[in-house]
Amino acid sequence: MSGRHDKDVQLIYGRNPILDALEQKKSFERIYMRDNLTGELEKSVRQLCKEKDIPLRKVPQIKLDKLAHNRNHQGVVGIGSIISYQEISMMIPHLYERGIDPILILLDNVQDVRNIGAIARSAEALGAHGLIVSGKNAGMITHDSLKASAGALSRIHVCREKNTIKTIEELKSHGIVTVGTTLTHSKPIFETKLRAPVCLLLGSEGTGLHRSVEAECDSLISIPQPGKTDSLNVSVAAGILLYEIQRQASLS
């Protein structure tokens, strides 16, 4: 029993392949476990996922059967990462050591894999230094993401975090200003100083930033929209915000 390469993801399934991959520090996007699984396998996988900060989902048998194409998965299926993730605690000091004031983007529970790729493309093109994919419902980075990014996901620092509130605390501890984007109770971007070191926070496609996340941000901003459409696509918004940071920097 071994992993197999699929069109968009690398699947690894079965007790020994999963445990071996975890012990060898294989990078996973997510691991799925049968919701009624018990015993040593369940305990080992749960503990290793916690230690390595890998998202773990407990799902019905039918979900695992579909993921593994009805092969003998023994109750556990992993989706391998196609990029290498970095830790925020190492990425930010590394940037400072190089004399760089970081410009970062944090995506809170953004789910569409193509949006993630498109945002990475804008981020890399417009001078951002890192992309943080955060939240338990965040989308995975697949080959579709990589394609939408035009390869930028391989050229920009990418981090993955489970808890956005804790991530904001980590960013602040490194002196990074956190700026949330929202349509209400915010200042227009043209009336706001956006200077590095800064992290822009963008929320999910459907609901935007959660109120608890907004409350932790240093400031809240919005993009003026004279039209009747409710909101911009999150990848379009990211591009506008990053361009405004560059515009303001050129005037200083």
pLDDT (tens, 9 = 90+) of the chain, 252 residues, equals 444 444 445 889 988 999 988 888 778 888 999 999 999 999 999 999 888 888 888 999 999 999 888 888 999 999 888 888 888 999 999 999 999 999 999 999 999 999 999 999 999 999 999 999 998 889 889 889 999 999 999 899 999 998 999 999 999 999 999 999 987 777 888 888 899 999 999 998 888 899 999 999 999 998 887 777 767 889 999 999 999 999 998 887
Query: Is 96 within 8 Å of 213 (Cβ atoms)?
Result: no
Q: Give the per-residue pLDDT at 213.
A: 94
- Beta-bridge mates of residue 180: 201, 220
DSSP SS3 for 11: strand
Q: Give the per-residue pLDDT at 9.
A: 57
Cα R_g (the chain), whole angstroms: 19
List of domains in the chain:
4-80 (3.30.1330.30), 88-251 (3.40.1280.10)
Q: Give the per-residue pLDDT at 28.
A: 87
Phi, psi of 91 (to 5 degrees): -65, -50
DSSP SS3 for 82: coil
Q: Give the per-residue pLDDT at 180.
A: 94
Closest CA to 195 of 247, 239, 155: 247
Cα–Cα distance between 105 and 158 in angstroms, integer? 10
Please report which helix (H) or strand (E) contains residue 44, including its range. helix 40-52
Q: Give the per-residue pLDDT at 1.
A: 43
DSSP 190: G
Query: Is 149 within 8 Å of 118 (Cβ atoms)?
Result: yes
